[in-house]
Amino acid sequence: MSTGSDEPSPKAQADSTVEGGESTPEWQYRRSDRSHRNGPLRRRYRDFRRRVTAPLIPALVPPILRTIGRTWRVRSTAGERRKDVLESPQGCIAVLWHGRMAAAAPLFTGVDAVILVSRSGDGDMANVLLSRLGYETLRGSTGKVGGTVLKTMRATLDGGRAIAITPDGPRGPRHHVNRGAAFLARATGRPILPIGFAARRALRLHSWDRFMVPAPFTRVQVVYGEPVHVPSGATDEELTAVSETVRTRLMDAEIAAYGSLGKEVDW
């Protein structure tokens, strides 16, 4: 569930998959586009660590996450929006923060949804993990919605399926929302459904998104926020305001989720 405004590389374009296309090759290590930002020793250490762990992550993470997820005690707020919007035969655009993807895994079980995954190197890894968890993915970016990707997303929504997007992925900034989801909503007439998550106990990685993995047997709270509708005649400037509304409602959903657990938000 990762998006971004980055331009895809030629290799990524060649490896990308849309519905009805060829299968995507297994993920292989590629040096991060951000590697130039760190010193040489730190960069070499990180590259070595990634090369060592790269083959293990796709094999180990999906079964571990499935096992832990079965122990979570999931509760929801405004749960009627799951049936009325997320599972609607008209389709919808579900948005959640990049750092909540692990917590969202049980939520989308049984939901007829396609997860948008960026063409970046990080997206290659996410694509393999999501596929092994049983989810259908679409490679593309909400930062550059157009052409074949837009047509595929239209067809997906017209078929009564949901599209899941992480508007601040794959590289952040954290909790930033670009205009991609708003653009897609304007083009298709489908609502945007913000979904917030909270966990009473969780492991939080030292990553840009503070990626959260709820602990075994903990309570996970899901809040379905107020849907956002975009008129077909909305201007590009209005899409910027819509994106800020989406961000606000996502933040409100997370605040409500943590409040129901009696905890402060983790950001």
pLDDT digits (tens, 9 = 90+) for 131-152: 999 999 999 876 655 567 888 9
Residues 6+ apart with CB under 8 A from 175: 97, 168, 247, 250, 251, 267
Does residue 36 carry a pLDDT above 60? Answer: no
Res 171: pLDDT: 81
Taking CA atoms, 49 is separated from 42, 193, 207, in Å, by: 11, 37, 15
Kindly report which listed range (3-7, 16-20, 58-62, 74-78) carries the lowest average pLDDT score.
16-20
- Which tokens go with 128? 């393999």
What mean pLDDT comes out for the span 216-229?
A: 97
Kindly report which listed range (26-30, 192-196, 255-259) carries the lowest average pLDDT score.
26-30
Q: From start to end of 24-92, where are the E strands?
A: 73-77
| Contact (CB, 8 A) for 266 and 210 | yes
Res 15: pLDDT: 40
Res 220: pLDDT: 97
Does residue 73 carry a pLDDT above 70? Answer: yes
Res 29: pLDDT: 45
Kindly report which listed range (43-47, 78-82, 117-121) carries the lowest average pLDDT score.
43-47
Res 109: pLDDT: 81
Average per-residue pLDDT in the chain? 85
Give the Cα separation of 49 and 57 in Å (integer): 12
Give the Cα separation of 163 and 86 in Å (integer): 9
What mean pLDDT comes out for the span 212-224?
A: 97
pLDDT digits (tens, 9 = 90+) for 84-108: 999 999 999 999 999 999 999 877 8
Reported as a pLDDT band with limits 50, 70 and 90, residue 1 is low
Q: For the chain, which residues make up each domain, given as ranges?
A: 62-260
Reported as a pLDDT band with limits 50, 70 and 90, residue 42 is confident
Reported as a pLDDT band with limits 50, 70 and 90, residue 19 is very low
Does residue 17 carry a pLDDT above 60? Answer: no
Q: From start to end of the chain, where are the E strands?
A: 73-77, 93-95, 113-117, 136-139, 162-165, 192-199, 202-204, 212-214, 219-224
What mean pLDDT comes out for the span 222-240?
A: 96
Give the Cα separation of 40 and 5 in Å (integer): 27
Res 18: pLDDT: 39
Does residue 215 carry a pLDDT above 90? Answer: yes
